[in-house]
Amino acid sequence: MRLATLLLIATSGVAFSQKKMKVDEIYGQYCSGCHGAKFEGGMGGSLVDGEWKHGSKDEDLYRSIAKGNPQLGMTPWEGVLSADQIRSLVIFLREKEKQTLTKGIEYPKPSPDKVTKTELHDYRIETVVDGGLKSPWAIAFLPDGSRLVTEKPGRLRLVDAKGVLDPEPVKGLPHVVEQGQGGLMEVAVHPDYKKNGWIYLGFADGEKGDKKCITAVVRGRIKDKEWTDQEWIYRPDPKFRSNAGVHFGTRFVFDKGYLYFPIGERGGMMEAQKLSSPVGKIFRLHDDGRVPKDNPFVKDKEAIPAIWSIGHRNPQGLTMDPRDGALYNTEHGPRGGDELNLVKPGSNYGWPVITYGMNYDGTPMVSITEKEGMEQPLTYWVPSIATCGLDCYTGEKFPKWKHDLLVGALAQQEVRRVRMKDKKVVSQEIILKNIGRVRDVTGAPDGFIYVILNGPDRIIRLVPAD
């Protein structure tokens, strides 16, 4: 009898884990009976009113679910549900809570004919390029007021100081593989561009006729609308190329003769933890491609010596605060796990061992969010905002925003202004929302804030209202 019961538990346990329940199914099966199909409460309280009797932190919710409160009718779920399932419920409840609490909040939709008000500055938007661009990804500013814009399918476009888009792309670019999220991505000009003319490109590199690719970095010059003098800055071993269409990373930061840039983990997950693989890393090189002698892993024979930090998923934002040299990155995590990080040499940002997220289909991922030897994000966003583009604003046109971080977001279609103090997040404000997926946001040398939007594809800028 006892044996039979044990067997039953054991077999049902196997069947259970094979089913890979999604979090909404877990909620529907185990929780909705008491907390309501819409989380509104019943025999148990509302889970979306922002009020938590037993503490409002993630770990409090986790404890409430795991340990329950049998005297008051809340089942302890530990043992019935696995740790990663309970963790996915916490993320799920956080998503629902946020959605409920922000429901009905209207954001003024920015448009050229009206002023958009924010806490510290009011602005108007101006359209810089409207139409003629396909999947624009990044923008760089030349000293004569003209701009370079990358298009994901592999074209580099010129926009003159008046905003006129040259119908002809720059000729003679390296071969770019357009594969899923990858293609021609980042463009930046060297800080001494006036003297040396160097332009840097980050793109999905591979052979013609083959979709296998990985992010690589070149520099070159543009003469008579043609790419010339090309030099490879970082080209991973071709053995790391893959067909995966995801997680290319790619943004550039120059500082004191160094170039910093990320490569996403290309779907390789645990590869992000391996020092012998270039995926899921942030790199530091001299701006001519040489490896700095004091990089953190140069003495490790197995390691790729250009690596600066490890354990990243898909970093598509990178910026430096010029006041203290703090390097920040934003990265797409799994669902509920988008992060802002302070990037320190030799540090491990934990992907995929720790994360605040779960799988996008709602199946649990991991139960742990912290581990010794792994860094914590400065903040993370639930629900995910799909971070893309990050800039420490240093212009003069919006003086009260100086040194705030501007965070772009694709899915939530927004630009957030993040105030930092002592390298910590003190507040956030959504300053632009609902006019398109934000691919990049950056302060220009003229102090205006440029925003690249995907769908509809265009470039706008924010100018002070007065």
Please provide residue 458's backbone torsions phi and psi, each rounded to the nearest 5 degrees: -165, 170
Residue from 31, 214, 354, 386 in contact with ligand HEC (CB under 6 A): 31
By beta-carbon proximity to ligand HEC, the closer residue of 34 and 411 is 34
The amino acid sitting at 327 is L
Residue from 16, 36, 75, 221 in contact with ligand HEC (CB under 6 A): 75
8 A C-beta contact, residue 371 and residue 354? yes
CA–CA gap between residue 404 and residue 288 (Å, rounded) = 30
Residue from 23, 48, 61, 156 in contact with ligand HEC (CB under 6 A): 61
CA–CA gap between residue 287 and residue 188 (Å, rounded) = 12
CA–CA gap between residue 264 and residue 216 (Å, rounded) = 11
By beta-carbon proximity to ligand HEC, the closer residue of 53 and 423 is 53
Q: How far is the CB of 52 from ligand HEC (least distance, A)?
A: 4
Residue from 16, 34, 174, 258 in contact with ligand HEC (CB under 6 A): 34
**Cβ count near 80 (within 10 Å):** 13
21 binds ligand HEC (CB under 6 A): no
By beta-carbon proximity to ligand HEC, the closer residue of 61 and 128 is 61
Kindly list the distances between the CA atom of residue 1 and the CA atoms of 10, 15, 82, 250, 429, in Å, as whole numbers in the listed order.
14, 21, 26, 61, 61
Strand order across the beta sheet in which 379-381 lies: 314-321, 326-332, 338-342, 379-381
Q: How far is the CB of 55 from ligand HEC (least distance, A)?
A: 7
Is 247 an active-site residue? yes
Q: How far is the CB of 156 from ligand HEC (least distance, A)?
A: 50
DSSP type of residue 90: H
Residue from 21, 23, 48, 65 in contact with ligand HEC (CB under 6 A): 65
Q: How far is the CB of 99 from ligand HEC (least distance, A)?
A: 16
CA–CA gap between residue 247 and residue 315 (Å, rounded) = 8
74 binds ligand HEC (CB under 6 A): yes
Q: How far is the CB of 376 from ligand HEC (least distance, A)?
A: 23
End-to-end CA distance of the chain: 82
Residue from 69, 127, 276, 434 in contact with ligand HEC (CB under 6 A): 69
77 binds ligand HEC (CB under 6 A): yes
CA–CA gap between residue 100 and residue 49 (Å, rounded) = 7
Residue from 64, 116, 384, 413 in contact with ligand HEC (CB under 6 A): 64
The span of 33-41, 123-131, 205-213, 354-362 binding ligand HEC (CB under 6 A) equals: 33-41
CA–CA gap between residue 253 and residue 249 (Å, rounded) = 13
8 A C-beta contact, residue 328 and residue 319? yes
Q: How far is the CB of 105 from ligand HEC (least distance, A)?
A: 23
Give the list of residues 6+ apart from residue 35 with CB closer than 8 angstroms, or none. 41, 42, 44, 45, 46, 47
Q: Which of 121, 247, 312, 332 is catalytic?
A: 247
By beta-carbon proximity to ligand HEC, the closer residue of 62 and 252 is 62
By beta-carbon proximity to ligand HEC, the closer residue of 69 and 427 is 69
Determine what percent of the chain falls in helix, strand and coil, rounding each to the nearest 5: 15, 35, 50
Tally of residues, the chain: 466
Q: Tell me which residues in 78-97 interact with ligand HEC (CB under 6 A).
A: 89
CA–CA gap between residue 160 and residue 165 (Å, rounded) = 7
By beta-carbon proximity to ligand HEC, the closer residue of 364 and 443 is 364
CA–CA gap between residue 461 and residue 371 (Å, rounded) = 41
Q: How far is the CB of 13 from ligand HEC (least distance, A)?
A: 17
62 binds ligand HEC (CB under 6 A): no
150 binds ligand HEC (CB under 6 A): no
By beta-carbon proximity to ligand HEC, the closer residue of 77 and 240 is 77
8 A C-beta contact, residue 276 and residue 297? no
8 A C-beta contact, residue 340 and residue 377? yes
By beta-carbon proximity to ligand HEC, the closer residue of 90 and 133 is 90
Q: Tell me which residues in 35-54 interact with ligand HEC (CB under 6 A).
A: 35, 43-45, 52-54
Q: Which residues are catalytic?
A: 247
Q: Which residues bind ligand HEC (CB under 6 A)?
A: 30-31, 33-35, 43-45, 52-54, 61, 64-65, 69, 72-75, 77, 89
